Amino acid sequence: MPFRIALYYAPEPEDPLWQAGCGWLGRDPATDQDLVQPPLPGIGEVTAAPRHYGFHATLKPPMRLVPDISSAALEMAARTLAAALAPFPLPTLAVADLDGFLALCPTAASPPLRAFADAAVAGLDAFRAPPDEAELARRHRADLSTQQARMLTRWGYPDVFDTWRFHMTLTRRLGGAERGAWQAAAEAHFAAALAQPRRVETLALFTQSSAAAPFRLAARLRLGAKGDTAA
């Protein structure tokens, strides 16, 4: 039984964005193999936190399963949910400053993308064990809005539904003096991959074996089709 499971968006394995993202972070979560990062001083430290989670955008945040519910049951439900959703174009992404973190964010709104995230959060919530008091205390940041606090209480995470923002995290929180240099480096690294159009074709199932273990891509569940493809 995994320690935690999450539902993410992850580019397809043949997509240059997947290769660029995994290379930037220095780890392929499908194989758990370390990768050679761009030759930038300090990149290992700057990317340590997002490397732990793997290159992704969060849909259903990491969760522990309800006791006596198996990960196989969750995967079956996630596969059914994915099969009911049609593939759709992903908006163009760009490197952006997201509350001090650098991330790839959409340059335009996308109702299908929002519906994709909402379906993952609501459709699989019956499998989520409620957060314990320590987790709630950790997530009750001082800067949570009233709406985020309500989301945390109901859904176990503050940034879902109306408070959700699609983002693929690239760095830790950066200070003002260093942010410009890292943003320029990230823009150069991702330029070719971001110039290509792409579609959301799968829902990615990530698992974590223990509290300290990195997340691994366990399966890609194909949208609008029966079955799934192994990661």
pLDDT at 226 over 90: no
> What are the counts of helices (DSSP H) followed by strands (DSSP E) for the chain?
8, 12
- Give the Cα separation of 55 and 135 in Å (integer): 23
- Mean pLDDT, range 211-230, rounded to an integer: 82
Question: pLDDT value at position 231?
Answer: 39
Give the pLDDT confidence score for residue 137 in this predicted structure.
78
Q: Which amino acid is at 53?
A: Y
DSSP assignment of 158-217 equals SSSGGG----EE-SS---HHHHHHHHHHHHHHHHHHHTS-EEE-EEEEEEESSTTSPPEE
| CATH tag for 4-108+166-230 (out of 3.40.50, 1.10.760, 3.90.1140, 3.30.70) | 3.90.1140
pTM for this one?
A: 0.93
14-73 per-position pLDDT tens digit:
999 999 999 999 999 999 999 999 999 999 999 999 999 999 999 999 999 999 999 999
Q: How much of the chain exceeds pLDDT 70, in percent? A: 96
Closest residue by Cα to residue 14 from 208, 196, 216? 196
Domain extents for the chain? 4-108+166-230
- Residue with token string 């823009």: 187
Burial class (CB in 10 A: 0-12, 13-18, 19+), 12: middle
- Whether residue 8 contacts residue 204, with contact meaning beta carbons closer than 8 Å, is answered with yes
Q: How many CB atoms lie within 10 A of CB 51?
A: 22
- Give me the amino acid identity at 107: T
Q: How far is CA 214 from CA 3, 6, 31, in A?
A: 11, 12, 11
CA within 13 Å, CB half, 125: 16
Interval 192-216: pLDDT, tens: 999 999 999 999 999 999 999 999 9
